[in-house]
Structure 1
Amino acid sequence: MADAQQRAGSDIGAKDDIEMRLGANLVHLPIVRAVAVNIAMRADFDVDAISDLELAVDEACSSLIAHAVAGSVLACRFTIGADDIMFTVTVTSAEDVTPSESTFGWRVLTTLTDGVTSWADQLEDSLHEVHIEFVKRRPVVSR
């Protein structure tokens, strides 16, 4: 995941990144899932990997929406690499808490992805920016 994190932190490949900003509301999840599926299809992922990415995106977004302050924006970024897709999602929260790694939802994320992490950054006025980031690699097909 270090390569994907370096890619996200720099402008290399940024021209191919896809970013979305939506209200932090569960009604917007179908839009984010549809974009994830489309990106994975274009990246030539197989059907199982596409489904895994879709479910992981849904779980990551749902987890953060539960912590979002009213009126918060759900910021999503897909970084497309040669053999992987990195997804980063962020919301503003009143809590300095990342999603618990002991929940079923976190287990889903770790099972469906090839590396996941979360963190929180302090903002002004007792607010926090909470992030989840994961990478999904294209499966290697042996012939």
Structure 2
Amino acid sequence: MSTRPDVELRLPAESAFVAVLRMTTAGLAARLDFTLDDIEDLRMAVGEACGLVLEDADPGGDLHASYDLSDGSIEVSISADARRRAEPDSDSFGWQVLTALTSDVRTRRDGDRLWLTFTVRSSIAA
């Protein structure tokens, strides 16, 4: 990323730590005055994005999350070191949920690291 994110977290690439990211996400959204429904949508989106990147994550690797906050929206980037270079399956249930709850969903590779980035906008700011 070209600019420094507002918030960054690095956790073990294990599904048990996804709850930490979901709670952090909810706290950040609450500080931006997102509605309860918007916060829950964002928490679900983070959970699905984590599921997609953790499918092929290296055991013992790291799960990274970064958040760019603006007035009425949050851009979230979730990544993990991947064992193989496959992109997420766009026909999977997780991908369908992620794209339904968010906007501007995109993937990118940085070496062996797979990134999923998306934006969620507050319904109040819309």
Does the pair score TM above 0.5? yes
What are the Cα deviations for residues 94-116 of structure 1, in whole angstroms up to 9, with x where unaligned? Answer: 21112111111101001111221
What is the deviation of 1:9? 2.7
- 1:113 and 2:102 matched: yes
2:31 — aligned with what? 42
Task: Give the 3-state SS of the residue equivalent to 1:9 in structure 2.
Answer: coil
Task: Give the 3-state SS of the residue equivalent to 2:95 in structure 1.
Answer: helix
Residues matched between the structures, number? 126
What is the deviation of 1:22? 0.3
What is the deviation of 1:141? 6.3
* Unaligned segments of structure 2, at least 5 residues: none
Instruction: Identify if the C-alpha distance between structure 1 residues 93 and 141 changes in structure 2 by more than 3 Å, giving closer, same or farther.
Output: closer
Matches of residues 124-135 of structure 1 in structure 2 within 5 Å?
Answer: 128-135=112-119
Tell me which stretches of 4 or more aligned residues in structure 1 moved more than 3 Å.
none
Q: Distance in 1 between matches of 2:22 and 2:43?
A: 5
- Contact conserved, 2:72 with 2:124, CA < 8 A, in 1? no
* Unaligned segments of structure 1, at least 5 residues: 1-7, 123-127
Task: Give the 3-state SS of the residue equivalent to 1:120 in structure 2.
Answer: strand
- Contact conserved, 1:93 with 1:130, CA < 8 A, in 2? yes
2:2 to 9, 12, 32: 9
1:62 to 51, 57, 62: 51
- 1:53 and 2:42 matched: yes
Which protein is bigger by CA-based radius of gyration?
1
- 1:140 and 2:112 matched: no
1:103 — aligned with what? 92
1:18 — aligned with what? 7
Q: Scaled by the length of structure 2, what TM-score is found?
A: 0.93
Identity of aligned residues (%): 29
What is the deviation of 1:131? 0.6
RMSD of equivalent CA atoms: 1.5
Task: Give the 3-state SS of the residue equivalent to 1:88 in structure 2.
Answer: strand
Q: Distance in 1 between matches of 2:98 and 2:15?
A: 18
